[in-house]
Structure 1
Amino acid sequence: MTHSAFIHVQHLLGTGHAVRAAAIGKALTARGVDVTLATGNLLPPTLDTTGLKVVQLPPVKSPDAVFNRLVTPDGDPIDIAWEEMRTAATLDAFAAKPHDLLLTETYPFGRRQFEFELSALLDAARRRDRPPLIATSIRDILVRKQELWKEEWMADQAVKFYDRILCHSDPDFVQLSDSFPFADKVEHLLRYTGFVGGGKRPVPPDGVGEDEVIISCGGGAVAEGLLMAALEARPLSRRAEDTHWRILVGHDISEDAFQTYRKSAGDGLIVERARRDFPGLLERARLSVSQAGYNTVLDVLIAGVPAVFVPFAQVKETEQTQRANALASHGRAVVTPEQNLTPERLAAAIDDALALPRSSHQVLLGGAEKSADILLEDLKARAA
């Protein structure tokens, strides 16, 4: 029997959500599943979606790190008419095939702004004569909410609608209960998959990245402070002023801003766009400097390279800080806050991190493949 899966993903600023959803989709495809990936934002140009049927829903994003409003790619605010259009597009895409698997990325453990759409999707799935297996895909650490009732609502929604929760973490490193106070309510649905990512990527050209300091910022939408400090920190470092620093500027940063960064680069600095061979650069590097997003931290863990993390922590964001501190507690990184970041403070953190040894610890990987296997096992059990 050929299974059909519908994956819904919505990224707002960073690209990690889309990267994980696509990886799981490709793992399902490799196991013979027909996969539709419905994306609520424009996918990054570096993302490989080979083998997936990608449905572009009316795109929307967050204009800033406050996450209290949503806008179209042109910056127009959304309204009720837009919400109705978006919901209709999602339901039409879901109705195109008799999917026997529905996977929502993050929701209900986040993306509550999209309840108008996703509650309708869940209702449509439950109303089918043969309802699909319903699963959610969540990263290692959730963003804490100031109101406890919102987190309890997440658990209640999961128990009401979902058959499986896939947590993409190494449980020896971080568990759901570390960032979610109602983990015990959903424990019967929970399976740890290992981290999603770490697959084969292009090998950098000979010599590129060798003994360098690699500064990266993911998509870059909220990385201006880190990039500006990095442009001036090299001559202030005692342990890394003798090597090239390579600053990788994300594709969410405008071309005008990118050219400004390039023109500001002093001696020993290379400024270029984010590269697909980034993991290979880290394997050769002396040090990694970055925020603490899921995908970047995973690449750092795999490479075993010492790291400086400047976690994104604007407004109410807690996820990156918690992840960065977890690595620091394992002796893998130095953490410096992004608030009031200066070249001097960044250079000092770099020097401190270069006193750390490289690591050979093997982190639990294969999260996309394990997720696919778990979901297919669940489908098989349901059919028995």
Structure 2
Amino acid sequence: MPHTPRVLIYVQHLLGTGHVMRAAAIGRALTTHGCPVTMVCGNTLPPTLETDGLNVISLPPVRARDASFRELVDENDEAITDAWKARRRDLLLQVYEDCQPDVILTETYPFGRRQMSFELEPLMETARARANPPLIVGSVRDILVPKPDPRKEEAMAEVALRYFDLILVHSDADMVRLGDSFRYADRVEHLLTYTGYVYLAKPADPPADDGKDEVVVSCGGGVGAFHLLDCASKARAHSTRASDTRWRLLAGYHMSEDEFDTLKTAAPDGVIVERARPDFPGLLRRARVSVSQAGYNTTLDVLAAGVPSVLVPFAQLEESEQTVRATALAEHGRVVYAQDTTLTPQSLARAVDDALGMPMKDHPTGMDGADVSARTVLEAWKKRT
């Protein structure tokens, strides 16, 4: 028996970057325990992603055309076809055969990524058919997107029970539990382990005085964030507490060049517009206040920095995950919540002023979820073998 298992991580991010960043963090944690880790990724990797020690294999990229997630498109912005799906399925199965993993870890699936069932179900069936099947582990963030049709959630629970040995939930169970956003959590309760939050950022010191006493405005990958950054660019003039400081707007790499150029051209004095930076956590530690969306990774950066914060959750179409997270944190007195759909420069300025009236907070406990996840996987594998 090998001392440590070979691990295959499957991750498919369709719109934002949080999924792949969380999967890579868990992968890196596994490598510190001596595990060979192959991470197979179904979309373009963000340029700031750390993949040290991981064997990264990229499948032909696919993404959601918009926040409805109803249509998937390839690298040429064309709708994917049955032939495209068959080719990617075969490539994924070949990765499995080449890797011969002792552990398969899927990010989000089976509690999301139903669109990828064309390749994930064959992977599950192939793995389960082996004489000594690998340990199959699911990895999910703190909050899921509730489905209007309960039958879809029931089907997710059935897939979990059919294929999975363990489900890692990356949250603080005292703050958020899977049942808060998933109707059938009780059916899979015996599979669940709460790991705490997956946060492995190593804040680098930004150059010069970047971030010092600033309002730092961020938007994750940048999809659907033009309105937030546009309001922030105009909000400085309306703030009573932050009109004398520099506002730094960070546009995610998914934001189009046209939108980015529009923001840069229109930025008034005292407002800097630039692309997202790998030293973002370091900027936050120097900042006077943070304004951001409420994605998983960005929220952890904000909490870890202990900086006064305004969360403007992405809430287009049927997206509710970020709203649930922002509301929970606001109820715990950690942030100021501002609604995206009614946001104006004036309302954002008021929210920034309110945040500046809040005391600094220590970051919450349970931020070592990546290492807890790695150790949990290893313990489960040892029991299996």
Q: Please indicate, yes or no, whether the TM-score normalized by the shorter chain is above 0.5.
A: yes
Show the 5 A alignment for 1:120-199.
120-199=122-201
Distance (Å, rounded) in 2 between the aligned partners of 1:346 and 1:112: 36
1:361 Cα deviation from its structure 2 partner = 4.5
Distance (Å, rounded) in 1 between the aligned partners of 2:365 and 2:262: 38
Q: Identify unmatched segments of 5+ residues in structure 1.
A: none
Distance (Å, rounded) in 2 between the aligned partners of 1:218 and 1:154: 28
| Deviations 1:320-356, CA, capped at 9 Å, x for gaps | 0000001100111111111132111111211122211
* Alpha-carbon contact 1:302-1:363 (below 8 Å) kept: no
Distance (Å, rounded) in 1 between the aligned partners of 2:317 and 2:201: 33
The equivalent of 1:67 in structure 2 is 69
Distance (Å, rounded) in 2 between the aligned partners of 1:227 and 1:201: 23
1:257 Cα deviation from its structure 2 partner = 2.6
Q: How many correspondences in the alignment?
A: 383
Change (3 A) 1:33 1:361: closer
**What is the alpha-carbon root mean square deviation over aligned residues?**
1.1
| Deviations 1:48-95, CA, capped at 9 Å, x for gaps | 111111111111001111110100122100111111111111111111
- Letter paired with 1:298: L
| Deviations 1:153-179, CA, capped at 9 Å, x for gaps | 111111111000001111122111111
* Alpha-carbon contact 2:215-2:290 (below 8 Å) kept: yes
| Deviations 1:212-242, CA, capped at 9 Å, x for gaps | 1000001101111101111111001111101
The equivalent of 1:242 in structure 2 is 244
* Alpha-carbon contact 2:228-2:340 (below 8 Å) kept: yes
Distance (Å, rounded) in 2 between the aligned partners of 1:382 and 1:177: 27
Distance (Å, rounded) in 2 between the aligned partners of 1:115 and 1:58: 16
The equivalent of 2:205 in structure 1 is 203
- Letter paired with 1:227: L
2:41 pairs with one of 18, 39, 42 = 39
Distance (Å, rounded) in 2 between the aligned partners of 1:285 and 1:115: 43
Q: Identify unmatched segments of 5+ residues in structure 2.
A: none
The equivalent of 1:278 in structure 2 is 280
Is 1:349 paired with 2:364?
Answer: no
Structure 1 window deviating more from structure 2 (330-339 vs 35-44): it is 330-339
Point out 4+ residue stretches in structure 1 off by more than 3 angstroms: none
Structure 1 window deviating more from structure 2 (193-202 vs 85-94): it is 193-202
SS of residue paired to 1:165: strand
The equivalent of 1:325 in structure 2 is 327
* Alpha-carbon contact 1:198-1:299 (below 8 Å) kept: no
Show the 5 A alignment for 1:65-104.
65-104=67-106
The equivalent of 2:24 in structure 1 is 22
SS of residue paired to 1:103: strand
Distance (Å, rounded) in 2 between the aligned partners of 1:95 and 1:191: 29
Show the 5 A alignment for 1:109-128.
109-128=111-130
* Alpha-carbon contact 2:200-2:370 (below 8 Å) kept: no
Show the 5 A alignment for 1:293-372.
293-372=295-374
Distance (Å, rounded) in 2 between the aligned partners of 1:11 and 1:362: 27
Distance (Å, rounded) in 2 between the aligned partners of 1:376 and 1:29: 11
* Alpha-carbon contact 2:235-2:349 (below 8 Å) kept: yes
Q: Give the TM-score of the pair, scaled to structure 2.
A: 0.97
| Deviations 1:169-212, CA, capped at 9 Å, x for gaps | 11122111111121111111100111111431322124221111
The equivalent of 2:51 in structure 1 is 49
- Letter paired with 2:258: D
Distance (Å, rounded) in 2 between the aligned partners of 1:74 and 1:376: 40
Distance (Å, rounded) in 1 between the aligned partners of 2:363 and 2:23: 26
Distance (Å, rounded) in 1 between the aligned partners of 2:321 and 2:364: 23
1:115 Cα deviation from its structure 2 partner = 0.9
Q: Give the TM-score of the pair, scaled to structure 1.
A: 0.98
1:97 Cα deviation from its structure 2 partner = 2.4
* Alpha-carbon contact 2:201-2:281 (below 8 Å) kept: no
Structure 1 window deviating more from structure 2 (188-197 vs 249-258): it is 249-258
Distance (Å, rounded) in 1 between the aligned partners of 2:200 and 2:309: 17
| Deviations 1:73-126, CA, capped at 9 Å, x for gaps | 221001111111111111111110221100110000000111111111100110
- Letter paired with 1:28: L
Distance (Å, rounded) in 2 between the aligned partners of 1:31 and 1:211: 39
- Letter paired with 2:154: E
SS of residue paired to 1:211: coil
SS of residue paired to 1:339: helix
- Letter paired with 2:42: G
SS of residue paired to 2:255: coil
Distance (Å, rounded) in 2 between the aligned partners of 1:242 and 1:180: 45
- Letter paired with 2:162: K
* Alpha-carbon contact 1:198-1:298 (below 8 Å) kept: no
Distance (Å, rounded) in 2 between the aligned partners of 1:354 and 1:41: 38
* Alpha-carbon contact 2:140-2:169 (below 8 Å) kept: yes
The equivalent of 2:14 in structure 1 is 12
Distance (Å, rounded) in 2 between the aligned partners of 1:206 and 1:362: 29
